Amino acid sequence: MLAVARRYVELGLPLEGIVLDWMSWPDGLWGQKSLDPARFPDAEDLCRRMHDMGTKLMVSIWPHVHGDGTDRLELAAADAMLANGTTYDAFDPKARALYWKQAETALFAKGVDAWWTDCSEPFEADWNGAREPSPEERMRINTTEVERYLGPDRRNAYSLLHSRGIWEGQRATGSPKRVLNLTRSAYPGRQRYGTYSWSGDIVATWESLRRQVAEGLSFAASGLPYWTTGVGAFFPGKVCPGLDGASFLRGDFDAGAQDLGYRELFLRWFQYATFLPMLRTHGTGTPREIWHYGEPGDPVYETLVRFIRLRKALVPYLYSLAWQVHSEDSTMFRPLAFDLVFPGADGSFVLYEDEGDGWGYEQGAGARTELRWDEANGTLTVGRPVRDYPGRPVRRVVRARLVEPGRGWAEASALWLTAEQQRQELRIPLRPSRSSSRRS
């Protein structure tokens, strides 16, 4: 992980976070929340060195614990397990508190920044078999398994209570670090607990990518605002040899990143995910770092670099959308039926800023700047910031340009108009380029 973070620094590319996925625990102790000391001898030093490079660490934790590790023995002794003997009872407040204490001691206190609460359904009875079950079969298989231990009235709500335990536990520490929890299962109300969901361990096919668009929009339309997908899919080809389970889970690209076809799929997936609430690559079977997808100068590599930088440039806009989710019950992405946007009309947007971490925003610490577009006069007005927060820059450089047909983000960025704002309102005249006027 340190080598990967260092390489991105050397390339001059932002890497906001790395996920330490499953199997971080000692051998034979699936679900133990402490890291394997043979591979991670000093977790605190690991986190510090990653933070020094501008990268945060998310660690996968599971509701299941196996073997004779301290976590399972402690949960069992406290009568905090479901009847299967390996899954903690998230419906029990005392069990949630104990589970959090284990995560805090082993990971959060060492500097871990965020959580990947994998398998939060918490059962996956459809994982085995040579033939992929139909959606109806899959629902029946999993429902039968869940109801054995949770009953029909609680079968879908485990992830909600699991997320609640992480949220309440971290908030109770008094840490200014905000809660971020990537959870595989969702339930109404879980958005209050700092959670994202993703589309699961899917296969690398063009059909899978096509489905992501509809699935994500449907998820957002249900009222849950934070959703993402694993760029390139979890399984590029056949199931990873060391990963037992459903042999029907097979992508089209056994050679992974060595296959030029997979590189194209990975790139298109990456471009799509650039505009999701969270951009992340994830999977087994082939590397995901961008240097495995070509050399500088190669089209795929250069396009990945371009979209990484575009994503970084979009952060103020995305952060403002996240504030709208919090303050106005909005959503970060949605079907076009929710909005109809076209040239020829006035428009407005509120840019939101705060410290980026901590809980001051709950007491109103944050600046709002209204951006207003006047179509008739071709003028962008940048209003005076309203409210404030500790450390807000006094001076701001504003760059603006019209987006026009045939001119992408990179082309437009070279023609930005620049103005400096301190506390005053700014008015920036924007006109179409001559070439755009001729085309129209």
89, 104, 113, 118: the active-site residue: 118
201 is catalytic: yes
Encoding tokens for residue 130?
A: 């040579």
346 is catalytic: no
89, 104, 121, 404: the active-site residue: 121
CA distance 108 to 105: 6
In terms of Cα–Cα distance, which of 267, 271, 268, 238 is closest to 253?
Answer: 238
71, 201, 259, 404: the active-site residue: 201
In terms of Cα–Cα distance, which of 123, 85, 115 is closest to 24?
Answer: 115
425 is catalytic: no
Compute CA distances 253 → 63, 238, 283, 290, 425, whole Å: 32, 8, 13, 17, 54
Residues near 321 by Cβ (< 8 Å), separated by ≥ 6? 277, 330, 332
In terms of Cα–Cα distance, which of 115, 123, 124, 200 is closest to 165?
Answer: 115
Give long-range contacts, CB 8 A cutoff, 24+ apart: 95-102.
96/161, 96/162, 96/164, 96/165, 96/168, 96/169, 97/165, 97/169, 98/74, 99/63, 99/75, 99/165, 100/165, 100/166, 100/168, 100/169, 100/170, 101/169, 102/33, 102/71, 102/74
* Active site positions, annotated: 118, 121, 201
